[in-house]
Structure 1
Amino acid sequence: MVRPSWSHVRAVSVGVLLAVALSGCSLFGRAEGATTPGKESAAPPTPDGRRVSLVQQVGSGGPPRTLEVDPTGRWQCRDCAGDGVDSTGAFTPEQTQRLQDMLADPALARETDEARHYKQGCIDALTSTLLIPPGLTITIQDCPGEPKPPVAYQVLLLITQATPAEDKG
């Protein structure tokens, strides 16, 4: 078996993240309760709330799971449990507030891939990437001994425990 080069792994990861980022805006228009594609019918997002996207992939060839959470706590997941099923739902008000508090934590800026000089440490491991507009990218990989950024890891746990997504890290 030929191992993929790091540049190939990085290129695949960047491609997956770009595809999710470009399609993220259209995902919420089709969320549960939407009456017209592209128009939200639920409560409008809070003005100071933040969206977050989670992309998970096992290895460089595994299918990506994507989950989008809007500021109101509504979420939509593609292949969330790795079974090909898409699902939607909403966090409780308490979960939504907790998530928004963590997303507003200034410590997240110190946990970005750029700030940590993050480099993938394992091949064929579960890689979870949080995308938090306007430009925060935080990757957490399920590698033995790899430190987990504390606030981002709590965001990951909240999202995966409150949805069908699975955190195996």
Structure 2
Amino acid sequence: MTHRDRFEAVYDAYYPAIHQYAARRTGSPDDTADVISETFLTAWRRIDDVPEGEEALLWLYGVARRVLANQQRGASRRAGLAERLRAELAADRPVRPVELEHVRAAFDELPERDREVLALACWEGLTSERIAKVVGCTAIAARTRLRRARKRLAAALERQASLTIAMGEA
């Protein structure tokens, strides 16, 4: 198989997943397109480094993650992440708007590192082992990060609930 054939196979197989990954993390279709093009440009240039099979998707997630970090360095992603979280929660079950505001505020309180592992687990449906490959750590470290991120999110949700009760909005 030529380099071109290999690239086309990777592109055809994983474009939709990378598109979803990027779209959930950017604020505009243009930013999404930029992330996708940079990700696949890297894959083209490093086609010999792209693993076989499903490992290729994890490799591409890692590239896309670094592209996003470079693209958004210094810019706040909180507003976009909160909106996507609200959309995901609304799709799962009907939620009162006040509850969504609490979830958004709690999620926004979290450090970027926590938001990323939670997003990979919840939005992308990745296991700890796959998260580890995307973020570049061991599976044990990924499980630990995810567990701690969930605890911090729960604590932030508690703070939001307490604040609402104190303000008389509940």
TM-score (norm 1): 0.25
Instruction: Name the one with the larger helix percent.
Output: 2
